Amino acid sequence: MAVKAPWLGFLFLVSLWGLSSPALLLRRLREHIQKSQESSSLHLGIGLSQGPAAVPKQGWLEQPLDPFNASDRRTFLQRYWVNDQHRAGQDAPVFLHIGGEGSLGPGSVMAGHPAALAPALGALVISLEHRFYGLSMPAGGLDMAQLHYLSSRHALADVASALQALSRLLNVSSSSPWICFGGSYAGSLATWTRLKFPHLVFAAVASSAPLRAVVDFAAYNRVVARSLTRAAIGGSQQCLAAASAAFAEVERLLRSGPASQAVLREELGACGSLHLTEDQAELLGALQALVGGAVQYDGQAGAPLSVRQLCGLLLGNGGNGSHSTPYLGLRRAAQIVLRSMGQKCLSFSRAETVAQLRNTAPQVSGVGDRQWLYQTCTEFGFYVTCESPQCPFTQLPALPFQLELCEQVFGISAASVAQAVAQTNSYYGGQTPGASQVLFVNGDTDPWHVLSVTQNLGPSEPVLLIPSASHCLDMAPTRPSDSPSLCLGRQRIFQQLQVWLKEIKKS
C-alpha cells in the first residue's frame, strides 16, 4: 500500500515558465489555481502529520500498464490518497475523487467536494491520480510506444481495478455504495465510469464535464464573449468592445513592422521574435487564453484575474488615475497573470513550443503538457478557435495551425484527429451518454458547459446549472464570498446524494 515509486529520482523537472499554446496555458492556469486552493486549505488547519494515524494517507497501487492484454506483465504504480476521518462504519459510502490531466495532492481528499460532503454523510474519501500524470508515471518515458497506453479507456480500467483493490485494502463492505466525483475531463471520467461499470459504481457527480468531443471548439470564445457582457460578474457591452479593440491594436502592431513587433514583444511578454506568422499566432493564442482564463476561472481563489478586474483594466479603471486604452489594459492584464503564475513569458516561438512538446522525459512540474496534447490528438480535439465573425478577439490562430501540433509532435494527421473524435463520441455517447444516477453540474459562465449536459435527460440523469458560476466552481473550497446561487447549488448536490443513498438503503 505505501510503496515508493523507484523511478522518481530520474524525473526531469520542468519550470513553471510554461508553454504558450492556448490549451496548454489554460491547463497551467488550472494547475496554478488548484495548488493555490490546496495551499490555502492546508493553512486553514488541515494537518499533514506523518504519524501512524496521519490524515490524509498516501498510497500506491500496482496497476497493469496494459489492462486489455492479460499476457502483458508490465505494471506501474498509481498514487492514491485516503481521508477516513469521517467514515461511519465498514458499510459507509465511499466517495472516489477521480483525477484528470494533472497531479493530485492531499487537498483532493481534504478540501472542496467531495470532502465537504463527507462529514454529513459519513463517507470514506479516496482520490485516484490519472495514469501518466503527477507521480503516477509508468517507467520508460513519454515516447509514442508508451503513450499508446494513455487514454480515457485505460483510465477507466484503472478506476475499476483500483476500486476492487481498495475495497480489500481498506476493508470496504460489499454493501458500501461507491460514488465517483470529477471535474472537467475527470468529470467525464466519472460519468463514463458509471456508464461502463454500473455494477461497481452506484452514482456519479460530474462537474463541468465536456462529454462531447469536438475538433473545432469555436463555441468556447462565443461563451467567453457573452460572459464578458454579464453585469452579474462585472462585465458589460463596453468591456467586450474594449477587449475587441485591444486585440485589434495588437494585430495592427504586428502588421506594422519589426519596430512595433519588438515593442509588443517587450510589453506583452513574448519570448522570441514575432517576425514569423506562426510566432504571432502563438502570442495571439496566449492572449486569447488569458481572456478566456479570466472567464473560465472567474471568482475562484488563486485566479490571477476575475472578469470584473479584467474589464476594469480594459476600460481604464486601473486605479492610477491616468488615461488608459484597451491595449494598455490588456498589457497590464498580461503582466498580472505572468507575475501571479511565476511565468517568464506569455508566449514562446512556435519552434520552441514544438521542441518542448517533443521532450519525452517524464515531467513532475506542469500539468503534463505532452500527455494532454496527445489525448486531444487521439480522443478529444477541444481546439479553441476564433475564426467566425461572432468572435471578437482575433482571427488567429486558426484551426489548421492548432492541428499542425498533432502532426509536428506525434505525426498524427488532421484526418486522424477528426476520426478519433468521432470514435470517442460514438463510444461514450457524447451529450447523451445514457448513464443513470449521474448528476451533471455546470456554471453558465463557463465556456465548457456547452459540451456538457445542461438539460435533464431523465429522472436518473438530473442537471444543475448554477447561475454566474465558472469552471468546476462547485468543487472548490467554500468561501465567505460564495454567491447565494453557488451555495444553493452545493446544497442541491447534497440533497441529490441524500435521495440516492436513501433509495439504496430501502432496497
pLDDT classification of 178: cutoffs 50, 70, 90: very high
Query: Kind and range of the H or E element at 150?
Result: none
Per residue in 321-378, pLDDT (tens digit) is: 456 899 999 999 999 999 988 888 888 889 988 998 999 987 644 568 999 999 999 9
Residues belonging to the active site: 184, 446, 471
Q: Taking the mean position of all CA atoms in its chain, how far away is CA 65? A: 24
pLDDT classification of 53: cutoffs 50, 70, 90: low
- What is the rounded CA–CA span in Å between residue 298 and residue 223? 13
pLDDT classification of 51: cutoffs 50, 70, 90: very low
Report the mean per-residue pLDDT for the chain: 88
245 and 228 Cβ atoms separated by less than 8 Å: no
User: What's the DSSP call for residue 129?
Assistant: P
pLDDT classification of 475: cutoffs 50, 70, 90: very high
233 and 468 Cβ atoms separated by less than 8 Å: yes
Instruction: Delineate the domains of the chain, giving CATH numbers in brackets.
Output: 74-139+157-211+437-506 (3.40.50.1820), 215-423 (no CATH)
| pLDDT of res. 321 | 46
**Could you give phi then psi for residue 125, rounded to 5 degrees?**
-115, 125
User: What's the DSSP call for residue 348?
Assistant: -
pLDDT classification of 49: cutoffs 50, 70, 90: very low
Does 22 or 60 have the greater pLDDT score?
60
| pLDDT of res. 30 | 82
Q: What percent of the chain has pLDDT over 70?
A: 90
31 and 102 Cβ atoms separated by less than 8 Å: yes
Q: CA 207, 210, 213: angle at the middle one, nearest 5?
A: 165
- What is the rounded CA–CA span in Å between residue 67 and residue 58? 23
Lowest-pLDDT choice from 27-41, 135-149, 171-185:
27-41
| pLDDT of res. 54 | 62
- What is the rounded CA–CA span in Å between residue 60 and residue 240? 48
**Could you give phi then psi for residue 58, rounded to 5 degrees?**
-100, 140
- What is the rounded CA–CA span in Å between residue 203 and residue 190? 9
Find, among 469, 433, 457, the residue nearest to 210 by Cα.
433
Buried b (16+ CB within 10 A) or exposed e, 437-453: bbbbbbbbbbbbbbbbb
pLDDT classification of 209: cutoffs 50, 70, 90: very high
Q: What is the dihedral of CA 440, 27, 33, 146, to 10 degrees?
A: 90
**Could you give phi then psi for residue 463, rounded to 5 degrees?**
-125, 155
Q: What is the phi-psi region of residue 307: left when phi exceeds 0, alpha when psi lies from -120 to 50, beta otherwise?
A: alpha
| pLDDT of res. 16 | 32
Per residue in 436-462, pLDDT (tens digit) is: 999 999 999 999 999 999 998 888 899
**242 Cβ neighbours under 8 A, 6+ residues apart:** 311, 314, 315, 326, 329
Per residue in 249-297, pLDDT (tens digit) is: 999 999 999 999 999 999 998 887 899 998 999 999 999 999 999 999 9
Determine the number of helices (DSSP H) and then strands (DSSP E) in the chain.
17, 10
* Mean predicted confidence (pLDDT) in 26-46: 71
pLDDT greater than 50 at residue 497: yes
179 and 204 Cβ atoms separated by less than 8 Å: yes
Find, among 370, 378, 338, the residue nearest to 354 by Cα.
370
Q: Give me 385's grid cell.
A: 478557435
| pLDDT of res. 90 | 85
| pLDDT of res. 122 | 95
pLDDT classification of 418: cutoffs 50, 70, 90: very high
In angstroms, what CA-CA distances link 263 with 287, 318, 344?
16, 21, 17
Q: Give me 14's grid cell.
A: 520542468
Q: Is 438 helix (H, G, I), strand (E, B) or coil?
A: strand
| pLDDT of res. 32 | 80
Per residue in 344-353, pLDDT (tens digit) is: 888 888 998 8
